[in-house]
Amino acid sequence: MYKFFILCFLLLAIIGCGSQNPDADLIPKSDRVNATEIDGSFINSPNLTLAKLKGEVVVIDFWATWCGPCRMEIPSFVKLYPIYHPKGVEFVGLSVEAQNSQPASYFDQFLKSFSVNYPIGFASENTSKAYGISAIPATYFVDKTGKIAKVFVGAHQVDAITGVIEKLVAE
């Protein structure tokens, strides 16, 4: 519960400061909080955990198939994955839709239609709550130590996403 309040505070602080500049600085290292472990069932890869990804930069994207801005942002992740994955960046897409809301073939077709090349799964209710997901897309950038370094709410251009990733890879 404590982590949930910290995440909500950080999110409100980021949004509440009026900074809509996608090139804004990362959260200072001393103010970063540990990212909550992700829990979900994955569609196109083995289950991932943040513990397994420690030492890598992790981009966690909360999304849904029915979300227009999410659909607009997915091609950015598809484009960036082959560039940054070899540099120690993992992308994880977590759908906030209930896994049983559509047949598995629906999600398989959706992933194929967008040529998704990174791990996609369904966020558990606990994971969605822990991250305070109330609007999507919501993208969390986790540094190599497992701490949240930046949060984007809403769709962002590929250059904004790239800017954050470049800063985190350089840390």
Which runs of E-coded beta strand occur in 29-100?
A: 40-42, 57-63, 89-95
The whole-angstrom separation of Cα 42 and Cα 29 is 30
From first to last of the 171 residues of the chain, give the pLDDT tens digit. Answer: 434 333 443 333 333 333 444 445 899 999 999 999 998 888 888 778 999 999 999 999 999 999 999 999 999 999 999 999 999 999 999 999 876 678 778 888 999 999 999 999 999 999 999 999 999 999 999 999 999 999 999 999 999 999 999 999 999
Paired with 167 in beta bridges are none
Judge contact between 40 and 123, C-beta under 8 A: yes
Q: Is 157:121 a contact under the CB 8 Å cutoff?
A: no
For each of the domains in the chain, give its residue range(s) and CATH number, in order of start.
2-170 (3.40.30.10)
| pTM, two decimal places | 0.84
Distance CA 26, CA 164 (A): 7
| DSSP β-bridge partners for residue 90 | 58
